[in-house]
Amino acid sequence: MPIFVVFIILSFVFYLFYKVRYFRSKRPAEKQWISAKSKIALGIFVAIFGINQLFLFPTTVSYIVAAVFIVVGGLSIWNGIRMYKFFLPHAIEEAEYIKNQQ
């Protein structure tokens, strides 16, 4: 299905975008916050790839592989959201501290 291909490409582009921002960032809390966002994007990529496999190849092996991809992607999204919520206040505090230092 073409809509899944668009979402797969978009999520992969966001993953690459956040990884580049991760390596360019100097602040530790901000790096972890950006890493959480890239983990969410990668999880969306893997989960949608698994969903796409369900429609492309209707075989038993494909269903098993797709289920594994969907579960792994969902767990990655869940873990990324937890990391995002944890590191967001730390990143804000770090940014305010840096702003007040100048």
pTM of the model: 0.88
What pLDDT digit, counting tens, does each position of 4-42 carry? Answer: 899 999 999 999 999 999 999 989 999 999 999 999 999
Name the strand (E) or helix (H) holding 58.
Answer: none
- In terms of Cα–Cα distance, which of 32, 6, 8 is closest to 18? 32
How many angstroms separate the CA atoms of 9 and 86, rounded?
Answer: 28
How many angstroms separate the CA atoms of 33 and 39, rounded?
Answer: 10
What pLDDT digit, counting tens, does each position of 71-86 carry? Answer: 999 999 999 999 999 9
At 88, the amino acid letter reads L
Rg of the chain on CA atoms, in Å? 17
